[in-house]
Amino acid sequence: MHNQLGRRVLTVVSAIGVLFATLMSGTASAHGSTTDPPSRNYGCWARWGSDFQNPEMATKDPMCWQAWQHDTNAMWNWNGLYRENVGGNHQGTIPNGQLCSGGRTGDGRYNSLDAVGAWQMANKSNRFTLTVTDQARHGADYLYVYVTRQGFNPLTQPLGWNNLELVAQTGKLAPAGTYQVNVNAGSRSGRHVVYTIWQASHMDQSYYFCSDVNFTG
């Protein structure tokens, strides 16, 4: 009995140590993400970061549950989903079906974000303002905002470049805490994916964000 209790205590202490190290690592290497509408891993962190071991997540938020089970660091490091030295060749670098993970960047840390299913959606009017949070104030060479074409079904289809339409873009943006883009989704309705590329200015560092939305008109 005492041995079992000792093992449980050791397991809890070890988990706390790993969590603390992860949090410190994420803070030290802070970058950014789309926070409105939230990217998949930022949304999972915002909803469950303080309660990520709650088994109710499996039924209330199953796509986040599978992401937390795959790699908790994908959520603790919600601000680190990027690739370096892409040279602007996003479509040539990121394969179809891997857009939400940035082509399985981070040694596969973010692979769960490519999973097909009912990710929680943010309700948005067809004209909305998208916000990227830049914790490190890298600045932006540009932001590209894509939206899935009407008829694409993210519940059953993996996301590919042919499913997307570029609907907004910016020029160079000075370093700031947030960047905002006005987006017009046209006549789209229902469930869609908003795909954002943020090209940071401090070096050739490209960020890729999938945000799930429900267009209300």
The CATH number of the domain holding residue 86 is: 2.70.50.50
pLDDT of residue 30: 63
Taking the model in full, what pTM does it have? 0.87
Model pLDDT, residue 18: 38
- Residue-range definition of the domain harbouring residue 17: 1-30
pLDDT at 20 (0 to 100): 38
Whether residue 129 sits in one domain with residue 26: no
- Verify that 130 and 140 share a domain, yes or no: yes
Query: Domain check: are 15 and 52 in the same one?
Result: no
Taking each helix axis from N to C end, the angle separating 40-48 and 62-70, rounded to the nearest 10 degrees, works out to 90
What whole-number distance in Å separates Cα of residue 198 and Cα of residue 141? 8
* Per-residue tens of pLDDT for the chain, all 217 residues: 444 444 443 333 334 433 433 343 333 346 999 999 999 999 999 999 999 999 999 999 999 999 999 999 999 999 999 999 999 999 999 999 999 999 999 999 999 999 999 999 999 999 999 999 999 899 999 999 999 999 999 999 999 999 999 999 999 999 999 999 999 999 999 999 999 999 999 989 999 999 999 999 8
Pairwise CA distance, residues 125 & 20, whole Å: 39
For 41, the enclosing helix (H) or strand (E) is: helix 40-48
| Closest among 100, 75, 104, 105 to 193, alpha carbons compared | 100
